Amino acid sequence: MKILIVEDNKIALMGIKKILSEYPNMEICTAENGLIALNLLNESESELPHFTLLDLNMPIMNGFEFLKEIKKKDNLRTMPVIIHTTSFNTLDVQKCEELGICGYFVKELDMVKYKSNIKLIANYWREAKK
């Protein structure tokens, strides 16, 4: 299973990768902002990620801008995107839903809950892939 993680926080990225390393056959691609992620997706000749885990608050191109851009492209608009962010603002959730996300998770401060959320996302999409 191929996953794209779009996250500018190196510590958060390390944590997510560590949690996902428990899963066999997991190919993880990373990008530190939406622009880099968009370029990776546009340049990729291989299959699209099974899902993208997207932070909202990033420099250069934030998560909202990234979502707007992928919805303009026929080959990317159906790619599943799950938001993983510090924002619990209901307007952010609504805006993301309008842009077609598949899920919205607030980053937990409690490490047990944080790990649980990442595993929940991974398990769901692993099963959906079957």
Percent of the chain's residues with pLDDT above 70? 98
Distance between CA atoms of residues 20 and 36, nearest Å: 21
Query: Does 123 score more than 80 pLDDT?
Result: yes
Contact 1, 125 (CB under 8 A): yes
Query: Does 130 score more than 70 pLDDT?
Result: no
Query: Does 17 score more than 90 pLDDT?
Result: yes
Mean pLDDT score across all residues of the chain: 90
**Directed axis angle between helix 10-20 and helix 111-129, to 10°?**
50
State pTM to two decimals: 0.91
Cα separation values, 27 from 1, 58, 110, 122, Å: 6, 23, 26, 12
Tell me which residue of 5, 81, 82, 76 sits closest to 47, measured CA to CA: 76
Give residue 75's pLDDT.
86
